[in-house]
Chains A and B, each alone.
Chain A
Amino acid sequence: MKLSYSGKAITGMLTVVPAHERKFVDEMANFNFSPKRSIKLAEVMGYDRHRIVAGAVTSSDLAVAGLEHLFAGGKLQREEIDALVVVTQTPDHLMPGTSKVVHGRLGLHHDVFCIDLNQGCAGFIIGIMQAFMLLDQPTIRKVVLVNVDVMSRKVSPRDRNSYPLIGDAASVTILECDAGAPAIEARLKMDGARREALMIPAGGLRRPSDATTAEMVEDEEGNFRALDNLKMDGSAVFNFVLTEVPELIRGLLAETNTDVADIDSFLFHQPNRFMLQKLADKLGVPYDRMPSNVVEHFGNSSGVTIPVATTSNLSARLVEERLRVCLAGFGAGLTWGAMLLELGPLNFCEMIEYQEDNQNG
């Protein structure tokens, strides 16, 4: 699907990562593989350390911490929020939606349009699209987009295919009307037929959680996980990304008469370093214009990785200048999307840490 937007812009971005950090070398003993084999894989994929919550922290905890930081710093006022979009695969509850939990905990006024989206690694792209649709309403001038996942609580610590790369994080992105903003082009594709490639099989109504869904079972590659855990078909996801994403990006660039050289930064979802370098090779993008260091420093936080890549690599530039960027998100659904836009100068672009002695609600 082709999507176009005008008169809208991203005006601020904050990310929240847990202060708690774990190192891959300290977790290797959990995996059913020789240390040498694990270290070799870590070098290729970029596993080093990841930020994951230590306790029973929820998505709304990270989101509220981010928004309270903005309120305290005067970067956002409660009363100017017209809409709150929360994108998460790890909601606090099956119902109500996490946007309502955040709304209540922050004491926002009753005229806020709250909506939840269940999206994975394409969640930042889809969240922006939803925010832009809301900004078409004359009564909505400012949208707060929250992307948040605490996926470490749903991944088996004995699953070498997923656990070392997982990170927890939240982002708060402010989107506003701006009559002078340059046009934005986006593309989005879905394939629900391949939905099982990334799935948490149990815990919904199709397969409610019970004692059997919590049982750890060894797979053919020596990983242990339960039906309550995230299951990633590594080969299927790998082939999906390296087949579909280059085609999507090439189409977007061609249809907008844009060359790779015209783009200052390719801010892609961060599955692992290997996959990103393969995408860069295929698209002819120099590695220094496609950050691939998020898994290494923070972990893959699903729909939050594009904001994490942005705030950890480009924050100093983005508060000073305008960059032409190509965003791409791809993952659960399967869903893949891309967006070409000019970003900055932003009112704020920063990362903060979440301390777990914060009061939880």
Chain B
Amino acid sequence: MSKVPAILAQVRPEVDFTGAADFFEEGLLDSFDLVTLVSELDKAYGISIDGMEIVPDNFNSIAAIETLLRRNGVTP
């Protein structure tokens, strides 16, 4: 089972991410939450997400984050 929803809940515990189409468009995450999220993902999966990949499009949904993780060679 994917760890991504639990990691998102750590970053913004007060936010319900289920059903959201775009976390940034809908104001659930901002640019500084993105930094926290990347740091949490790096720690959880033992990777270092490349700086050029740290753009909202790669983090705007659970599916997008999982695709990015797979690109980094890990199973979400």
A-side residues, CB < 8 A to B, are: 34, 36-37, 40-41, 43-45, 160-161, 220-222, 234-235, 238-239, 241-243, 246, 274-275, 277-279, 281-282
Contacts and interface: CB of A to CB of B under 8 A. Distances in A.
B50 A41 contact: no
Contacts of B52: 239, 242-243
Contact of B51 (A40, A160, A222, A282): A282
Contacts of A234: 31-32
A34 B54 contact: no
B12 interface: yes
B16 interface: no
A274 B52 CA distance: 14
Given A234-B31, A242-B52, A282-B50, 19 more contacts: A34-B14, A40-B10, A41-B32, A41-B33, A41-B35, A221-B30, A221-B31, A221-B32, A235-B56, A239-B55, A241-B51, A242-B50, A243-B52, A274-B35, A274-B38, A277-B48, A278-B48, A281-B48, A282-B51
Contacts of B33: 37, 41
Given A36-B13, A40-B11, A274-B35, A238 B30 contact: no
Binding site secondary structure of chain A: helix
Contacts, number: 55
Contacts of A246: 51
Interface string B22-42: 000000001111011011000
Contacts of B13: 36
Interface residues of B, number: 20
A155 B11 CA distance: 26
B74 to A, nearest CB: 15
Contacts of B38: 274
B51 to A, nearest CB: 3
A160 B50 contact: no
Which 9 residue pairs are nearest across A and B when measured between Cβ atoms?
A242-B51, A281-B48, A44-B39, A221-B30, A278-B51, A235-B31, A234-B31, A40-B36, A44-B36
Contacts of A282: 50-51
B20 to A, nearest CB: 17
Contact of A243 (B14, B31, B39, B51): B51
Nearest to B12: A37
B34 to A, nearest CB: 8
Contact of A274 (B11, B12, B39, B50): B39
Contacts of A279: 51
In this complex, the member of B11, B31, B48 whose beta carbon has the largest number of chain A beta carbons within 10 angstroms is: B31
A238 B56 CA distance: 12
A43 B56 CA distance: 21
B12 A45 contact: no
Contact of B35 (A36, A44, A241): A44
Contacts of B11: 40
A256 to B, nearest CB: 24
Nearest to B50: A282
A45 B54 contact: no
A126 B25 CA distance: 39
B42 to A, nearest CB: 9
B44 to A, nearest CB: 13
Nearest to A273: B39
A274 B13 CA distance: 22
Contact of A41 (B36, B48, B55): B36
Contacts of B39: 43-44, 274
Contacts of B54: 238-239, 242, 278
